[in-house]
Amino acid sequence: PESRLPGVGTTIFTVMSALAQEQGAVNLGQGFPDFGCDPALVDAVADAMRAGHNQYPPMTGLPALRQAVAQVMQTTQGVAYDADREITITAGATQGLFTAIQALVRPGDEVVVLEPAYDSYLPALELAGATVHRVPLTPMTFRPDFDRIAAALSPRTRLVLVNTPHNPSGTVWSRADWQMLADLLAPTDAWLLSDEVYEHMVFDGQRHVSAAALPALRARAVVVTSFGKTLHVTGWKVGAVLAPPELMAEFRKVHQFNVFTVNTPMQHGLAAHLAQPQHYLGLADFYQAKRDHFRAGLAATRLRLLPCEGTYFQCVDYSAVSSLGEMDFCRWLCTELGVAAIPLSAFYRDGTEQGVVRFCFAKQTTTLDAALQRLARL
């Protein structure tokens, strides 16, 4: 058949994990923890199954889980959401993003995407028929360039996508950043799609600021999050979307025919677990310790560490080590040194090369040490 996505191959995360496995490499490529979740979370899911919670939940998600999501937003951002009308449980953030895009973007609508961008955004926009304006974040600092964002906006802009804490760069938007965007969007009718899946992983005493924390943005924002990141269960593929009622009504029109709903026992387990704030409030310290351990190890190499304010990703500039392109350098790292990483060029539609790769440090100390030992040659 004629492809609907002619420029798209297999996602880099699948490609690099396969190469890591084939090479027996330490996999710091695809972002996922190599340690277990809280056993109490597994028990809560098993209990839900045994209690007979095995049929369809409501289309919008289990009320207790929607309420737990509202409570997290209240606790961390001081922002109220109506769990019935403004929150829907999704099959991971990926489905939340995809469904939001299909619900809001019509063929020919203009959409602004900041690059480097998570790799699911552009294919979803292409399927919706969007006219995409890709705006680069400032090279190497990965801060938003509001002059360039302003230049990309027009009266026809339907949607702007933002991701903070940012995958792959680990940068974090401040309230001042959001205020700049709010001012730029004020004269437009654009919606905002805010990918906040790493909301609980912000370091050094900084705090995540949700788009929803600014009333002007809350009114036009679809906020996406993922329990996989927060509770170390990326394979469960459960997330949530928050949006004002008129936006959520459109989201649910698509959601009901996209997946209809998300598996019941996991939702019960997640609801019970998330109701206890200690399960997400300690996450920043937990990952900051891993970040610091990994950075301290890399400091002995010629890799130049870029700042990491949040997420579980550390980017490095390898230009003092090799003149290979990013994908070739990742292949070399994986096959010769036995460590898998992700080329930043995979987050740019035009394959922009900066001599930067991304490592995931959501790993046990023994895994990080095994990788550091191999990277010590650099």
Q: Which of 61, 92, 265, 269 binds ligand PMP (CB under 6 A)?
A: 92
Answer yes or no whether residue 92 interacts with ligand GLN by CB under 6 A: no
Is the alpha carbon torsion for 143, 146, 147, 149 positive or negative?
Answer: positive
Site string for ligand PMP, 234-253 (x = CB under 6 A): x--x-x--------------
Q: Does 37 bind ligand PMP (CB under 6 A)?
A: no
Question: How far apart are alpha carbons 165 and 138 in whole angstroms?
Answer: 16
Instruction: Report what 226 binds from ligand GLN, ligand PMP, none; CB cut-off 5-8 Å by kind.
Output: ligand PMP
Q: Is residue 19 within the footprint of ligand GLN (CB under 6 A)?
A: no
Does residue number 88 form part of the binding site for ligand PMP (CB under 6 A)? no
Place of tokens 């190469």: 19
Nearer to ligand PMP, 68 or 93 (CB): 93
User: What's the closest the beta carbon of residue 117 comes to ligand GLN, in angstroms?
Assistant: 11
Q: Is 13 in the site for ligand GLN (CB under 6 A)?
A: yes
The residue number with the shortest CB distance to ligand GLN is: 31
Among 102, 167, 261, 263, binds ligand GLN (CB under 6 A): 167
Shortest distance, CB of residue 98 to ligand PMP, whole angstroms?
9
> What is the distance, to the nearest Å, from the Cα of residue 278 to the centroid of all Cα atoms in its chain?
22
Minimum distance of ligand GLN from residue 230's CB (angstroms): 13
**Total of residues contacting ligand PMP (CB under 6 A):** 14
Q: Which is nearer to ligand GLN, 11 or 256 (CB)?
A: 11
247: left (phi over 0), alpha (psi -120 to 50) or beta: alpha
Q: Is 92 left (phi over 0), alpha (psi -120 to 50) or beta?
A: left
Please identify, among the stretches 33-41, 92-100, 143-151, 323-331, the one whose residues bind ligand PMP according to the rule CB under 6 A. Answer: 92-100
> By CB under 6 A, is residue 94 in contact with ligand PMP?
yes
- Closest among 101, 106, 60, 95 to 256, alpha carbons compared: 60
Kindly tell me which residue out of 23, 30, 88, 225 binds ligand GLN, with binding defined by CB under 6 A.
30
| Contact residue for ligand PMP among 167, 230, 264, 367 (CB under 6 A) | 167
Q: Does 264 bind ligand GLN (CB under 6 A)?
A: no
Q: Which residue is nearest to ligand PMP (CB)?
A: 92
The closest of 335, 331, 322, 338 to 378, measured between CA atoms, is 322
Helix (H), strand (E) at residue 245: helix 245-258
Do residues 173 and 152 lie in contact, with contact meaning Cβ atoms separated by under 8 Å? no
| Stretch of residues binding ligand PMP (CB under 6 A), selected from 74-82, 86-94, 145-153, 328-336 | 86-94
Neighbouring residues of 292: CB distance < 8 A, sequence distance ≥ 6:
none
Q: Tell me the C-alpha distance between 346 and 372, whole Å.
A: 24
The partner in contact with residue 93, picked from ligand PMP, ligand GLN, none with C-beta cut-offs of 5 to 8 angstroms by kind, is: ligand PMP
Alpha helices in 24-115 (DSSP H): 39-50, 63-77, 92-104
Matching residue, tokens 């289990």: 62
| Packing angle, helices 245-258 and 92-104, rounded to 10 | 110
The listed partner (ligand GLN, ligand PMP, none) that binds 152, CB under 5 to 8 Å by sort, is none
How far is Cα 298 from Cα 281, in angstroms, rounded to an integer? 28
CA 124 → CA 53, 120, 349, distances in Å? 33, 6, 13
Three-state DSSP class for residue 241: strand
Q: Is 169 in the site for ligand GLN (CB under 6 A)?
A: no
Per DSSP, helices labelled H in 111-244 are: 121-128, 146-152, 175-185, 215-218, 227-230
Residues in contact with ligand GLN by CB under 6 A are 11, 13, 30-31, 167
Residues in contact with ligand PMP by CB under 6 A are 31, 92-94, 118, 163, 167, 195, 197, 226, 228, 234, 237, 239
